[in-house]
Chains A and B, each alone.
Chain A
Amino acid sequence: MHFSKIIFLSLCSFLLLSTGLDAQSYALKGIKSFSSSGIKAILNDKEVVGYVVFYKTDKADSKNDNYGFDLLDEKLNKVSTKKVVLPRNAVFLQPVYNGDALGLMFYNITKENYIFRSYDKELKELGSVITEKPNKFERAALGQMEGDAAASFYGLHAVPGKGFVRAGYGEDKDKYRITFYDNNFKTKWSYQTPEASKDFETFLISDVNEKYVTGTTMRRDGLMSRKIEYFLTVFDVETGKKILDTSVENAKEQLSISSTILLKGTDQMVLQGEFYDLDDKPGVNKSKGFYLKTYDLNTGKELSEKKFSWAKDMAKLFNAKGKESLEDKYLNFPHDLFKAANGHYYMAFEQFKKVADGAGIAMVALGGSASFVKIRVGNLWVLEMDGDFKPLALQYYEKDGSDVGLPAGAGMVGAGMLGYFVKSIGGFDYQFLQQNKDESTFNMAYINYDREKGEKSKTIVGNIFLAKDGTLNFDKVDITAPKRSTLSLYSAQGSNIMLSTYNSKEKTLELRLVKLNY
């Protein structure tokens, strides 16, 4: 996380005039400085239910500052303004909503610890906690990540109606800890990798419901070992007991895990990841394709499996451009896997590959410490499958390529992990998935930086929307910022996106909903 950009909006409070112009826009005046990370969408499962606009006002005392947050509903109606006192240099990481309580997560850059606060639906404060310093590896990782990536790796996950859960490093670098808090941020249970375990392991939460916390454990037999084994791990939400910790591989194959989703109304989950040849090194070599497996959480048994190889299965589904991309050695990073009310599964992938960075090479040759590797981010595609994972359609969305420079040393990251690294630094164009409560619609958006020769570059948002009639629709809108303005994109309900526009000359901030057509 780039702490050098302190994530707040600071303002003179007596100039603060929040005016709901209409129920599709919201404006503030008197904003001295602005960062897009001061505004976050609040999700209930995958549906946007509101926004938090977080800002700093002034000093409270020698160590703390006064902050405020405006809570808006999904239509940008202002619900409430809350004032909070937080340590100086508190960074707002994320809001999390579990259906009953809103949790806010902050990080104190100075003290290097987390601050959690919770509120009920009427915005009455429920509880708060300040954690101890996380493990230095976690602190080091946070220092490298964008705020949203930090939240996705180490942030809170909503446990519907019950509380919040998060995972991070344990006391030692080779351990992980998972903690479940109730709505008042009282610790209900905490699990840490046993002392006796010799493995180096990390755990990433993937999906949570009112019964289970699921995710991926990555184990290595030594810190520098490059052989990573992937395990599907499931915890019981009530007891914190680990009820499943199973390797997804067998003697014939090597698999990694990208995500898990819990199927609503069942005790089943779907696991998605990539497969490799036996002598490949997952995380190092590029995969041969991706797989989908279904598990019964009561028995831990695998119910079904489907594999899709890039070279054979996916190549025949792609159009000509898509086939070209595979030949051009683009890798495919899976952003989201989810199920819709029509019983179909959808997966969104974004293509990327390493390219040489001429300037970086020159720098290294001159003794500098730049990376000589950069990432070219390419096109996006969405795969639709039926309930048995049989492919129904693949939509390929072309966009202009964008380049992402990697920090020095990052070029050593293996192909298998490279995508996650790019995601952690906010390098992809894919922005979000939003799915309504009954799963009958979803929209996903990406940003395309459109650069035509001889013309000013434009920022275009591409929006893919599943309508209630089952049709998948595409629309795009130009969101290029006007002069002296910064424009940022956020998820929104329906086929909307939410845009914030900060005008540095007028010192105004406006939020508005933009409907994409379908």
Chain B
Amino acid sequence: MRHPLQYKPGQRPLFCLAFLLFFNAALPAQALRNVPYYSAGTAEVRDKLAEETAASVRAKFQEPEQFNKEAKKAYQDQRERMALNVSEEIRQSAIPDDALWPFIKMTHAAIVAANPESAGTKIILEIDPTPNAFSIGEGTIIVYSGLLAGLENEDQLAFVLCHEIAHFLLEHATKGLVRQVKTFHSKEFKDKVKAVNAQEYNRSEHIENMFKNVLFNSRYHHRDLERQADSLAYILFLKTPYAPAQAQRLMQLFEYMDEPLRDSVLRLENHFGCAGYTFQAHWLEKSHGSVWTGAKTLSDAAEKPMQDSMRTHPDWKNRMQWIEEMSKTTPAGITTTAGVDNSYAPIKFMSIVESVEAWFNMERYDQALYFAVQYQNVYPDCSYFKEIQALSLYGLYAHSKDHTLATVLAESSPDYPDKYNRFLDFLNNLRLKDLLALQNCSAKALEEGKTEYGLLAAYYIALAQEDNGNMNSVRREYLANYRKGRFAEFFRNTKK
């Protein structure tokens, strides 16, 4: 059964806020928005982008003639899997909006103008909270909204794009696939597999060692490829009008890009509770930590690199040193214009909104709530974050009732930062009745003159209270004011 909150995110641009327009004259006024992107025609655009990209993957990744039949088949299977995965991701997540996408396309255009050999690349923006970008290998570069949200200025974006363009120009993906297939279909590897299969005893250990070597070589190779990409990226970057020192600043940002708002103080009592249901001190009880001290120091040394690679940018320190060497002009440690550029501020804001929306769409209500609450302090005039707070609380409530809370709310873990763990402990301390009451408190905090998200939140609050009268009234209000809105289909279906 489809969970009530599993609506399909529609996209429609909304009105801008005055301060966004003030800071970014480059963006047309109607493009600036304080809600996630929506347009009724997005699905078609996404389908087209997905099909084009899949076709270009199939065209670009060609199996070498010298491969035998078996290797060719393996290569073709991998290529097809890539094409399908990439097109599916684009179909689900691409944002073909008229603010963020044009912005990064403009940056890309500046890089191509300075580096004509990059002309074979194109950019797709996706709604995803991960602060990352990647080159598919046939010329398409995917940029996640989480990355835009983590940057300070366009220069830093330009270096990221140069890096991904470099991967393409150096043919890392295409050569990588050939190398991978070659490795696993080489006589040497097959002989190793035969030798392992012939073992009567300790076969698992032999297999593990065999794959550890493959994995180690692959990781080492990956780091080498990243260094190559950084090298070429810097060369490409220097030809553009962007500030070279921002490349180092970007590496500094990578250290904590997985933890936005890490330095801000989170006072939960300011966001949860109201006159009728005040914040309760016992909600802040910390779970007493694991008794196993081995949880903090992994006893299996082989797992350490795996742990490090869980970060989005694990090698940032080495990369920063490398770029510093290349620049020889800006010593390490200088912040070089740190802080968000005024002209970039609207881009950052809209990307943050998309990233919070991404968490919400993935039903990761813990993350959506964590960021929605904090961004209320950063952007107090933006009602979207309050609305997502109310909706996320409903999501937690509904899943709690269904006994599926674990799918939308994590438990604290040594892998998470302390601040996030405290937040998770807080959410896990809430009882069902607390979630219901806190939803009601959120409703009171929503503004009158409801926005689309505000009305959706009001609907779910009424649903939780089993208040059919209010549900119908909200439904009517929405359909009267947002006949072609992002939730119109949802509200029309609920009538049935």
B: which residues have CB within 8 A of A? 200-205, 207-208, 210-211, 282, 287-288, 290-295, 297-300, 303, 400-401, 403-406, 409-416, 424, 428, 431-432
Q: Are A123 and B292 in contact (CB under 8 A)?
A: yes
Does A311 have its Cβ within 8 Å of any Cβ on chain B?
Answer: no
Interface size on A, residues (CB 8 A): 43
A20 to B410, CA, bound (A): 11
| Complex contacts, B291 vs chain A, CB 8 Å | 44, 49-50, 73, 97, 99, 121
* Chain A hits for B208, CB < 8 A: 13-14
Contact between A518 and B294 (Cβ–Cβ < 8 Å)? no
Q: Which of B200, B282, B299, B414 contacts A123 (CB 8 A)?
A: B299
Task: Give A56 Cβ to nearest chain B Cβ, in Å.
Answer: 10
Q: Across the interface, do A514 and B202 meet the contact criterion of CB distance under 8 Å?
A: no
14 contacts between A and B (CB under 8 A): A12-B207, A14-B210, A24-B411, A57-B204, A66-B205, A71-B292, A73-B291, A75-B287, A77-B415, A80-B299, A122-B299, A477-B403, A514-B405, A515-B406
Q: Shortest CB–CB separation between residue B303 and chain A, in angstroms?
A: 8
A50 touching B292 in the complex, CB below 8 Å, given contacts A23-B410, A75-B411, A515-B406: yes
Q: Dominant SS at the B interface?
A: loop
Q: A123 to B411, Cβ gap below 8 A?
A: no
Is there contact, CB below 8 Å, between A515 and B400? Answer: yes
In the complex, the answer to whether B415 meets A13 with C-beta atoms within 8 Å is: no
Distance A60 CA – B412 CA, assembled complex (angstroms): 38
- Is B204's CB under 8 angstroms from A79's CB? no
Q: Decide: B297 and A122 in contact? CB cutoff 8 A.
A: yes
With beta carbons under 8 angstroms apart, the residue of B282, B288, B410 that contacts A22 is B410
Using A22-B410, A75-B412, A77-B413 as known contacts, say yes or no to A14 and B204 having CB atoms under 8 A apart. Answer: yes
Q: Which residues of B contact A399 (CB under 8 A)?
A: none
Contact of A513 among B300, B411, B424, B432 (CB under 8 A): B411
Q: Which chain B residue lies CB-closest to A479? A: B403
What are the 7 tightest A-B residue pairs by CB atom distance, in nearest-first order? A13-B204, A24-B406, A23-B413, A14-B207, A73-B290, A75-B411, A23-B411
Contact B200 A59 (CB under 8 A): yes
By a beta-carbon cutoff of 8 Å, the part of chain A in contact with chain B is 12-14, 20, 22-25, 44, 49-50, 57-61, 66, 71, 73-77, 79-81, 97, 99, 121-124, 437, 467-468, 477, 512-518
- With A77-B415, A515-B403 as known contacts, state yes or no: A24 contacts B409, CB within 8 Å: yes
- Contact partner of A81 among B211, B300, B410, CB < 8 A? B300
Contact B204 A66 (CB under 8 A): yes
From B208, B287, B292, B424, residue with most partner A Cβ within 10 Å: B292
Q: How far is the CB of B373 from chain A (nearest CB, A)?
A: 20
Chain B min CB distance to A115 (Å): 20
A97 to chain B, nearest CB (A): 7
Residues of A within 8 A of B203 (CB): 58-59
> In the complex, what distance in Å separates the CA atom of A477 from the CA atom of B406?
14
* Docked CA distance A99–B292 (Å): 10
Asked, given contacts A122-B294, A122-B297, A123-B292, whether A514 binds B411 with beta carbons under 8 Å apart, the answer is no
Whether A58 lies near B414 (C-beta < 8 A) is: no
Contact (Cβ within 8 A) A74 B204: no
A121 touching B410 by the CB < 8 A rule?
no
The answer to whether A59 and B202 have CB atoms under 8 Å apart is yes
Q: How far is the CA of A103 from the CA of B409 in the complex (A)?
A: 32
Q: Are B295's CB and A77's CB within 8 A? A: yes
Known: A12-B204, A121-B292. A80 touches B415 (CB 8 A): no
Q: Which residue of B lies closest to A512 (CB)?
A: B406
- Find out whether the CB atom of A60 lies under 8 angstroms from the CB atom of B202: yes
Cross-chain contact of B294 among A13, A44, A76, A80 (Cβ < 8 A) = A80
Q: Which residues of A contact B405 (CB under 8 A)?
A: 514-515
Chain B residues in 8 Å Cβ range of A123: 292, 294, 299
Q: Check B207–A13 contact: CB distance below 8 A.
A: yes
Which A residues touch B287, using CB under 8 A? 75
**CB-CB < 8 A to B297: which residues of A?**
122
Closest to B435 in A: A517
Given A58-B202, A122-B299, A24 and B410 contact (CB-CB distance below 8 Å)? yes
Q: Which residues of B contact A49 (CB under 8 A)?
A: 290-292
B290 touches A79 (CB 8 A): yes
Q: Which of A57, A97, A121, A468 is within 8 Å of B282, CB to CB? A: A468
Give which listed residue, A77, A121, A468, A513, contacts B406 with CB less than 8 A: A513
Contacts known (A50-B292, A80-B300); A25 close to B207, Cβ less than 8 A: no
Q: Which chain B residues lie closer than 8 Å to A73 at the CB level?
A: 290-292, 295
